Amino acid sequence: VFLYFLEVTDRWRVSDTENLLPMIDYHIIRLFCRTGCLEVQEEGLRQKLLRKEEVTPEEEQLLRESSFQIRQQLATVFDVPERGELLYLLSRSYCRNAPVCVSGNKPENDSFDLYTGGAFTGTCPLQKWCPGACHATYRDLWEPMIQTENY
């Protein structure tokens, strides 16, 4: 995130974007769980995410590593360097405490719309295909709760 900040404020430029590793934070993990990109198969971990209970460091690492692999696959499929801005901003704007897909409310944060130059249209940009928009079993998943100083 720090390097991204330096780049968008024109203090530093990345010359080899193909070597950038995507940022994975709890917003991204939550988005991937809710959209079905990351299927949590282990029932104990799934229940912790549903109940917003603390996970072990190993469980958190598993979710981060899986999310990292998904991000790399997305970058390959869409043939774009994946720094993470769009997914990060979408997840922290549209898919938080009260997901736009069910609340119908404006996003909790306007960073995605500001970044894309768009305006809120009353729905989430992923709503037409996102499992979380239709099924609480996806939508109710939360990011891993863990005590950390990594941010």
pLDDT digits (tens, 9 = 90+) for 12-54: 777 776 676 777 889 999 999 999 999 999 999 999 999 999 9
Q: Give the pLDDT confidence of 59-83 residue by residue, as tens digits.
A: 999 999 999 999 888 877 776 655 6
Whole-prediction pTM: 0.84
Examine the pLDDT at 151 and tell me if it is beyond 60: no
Which residues, at least 6 apart from 75, have a Cβ–Cβ distance to it below 8 Å? 22, 81, 82
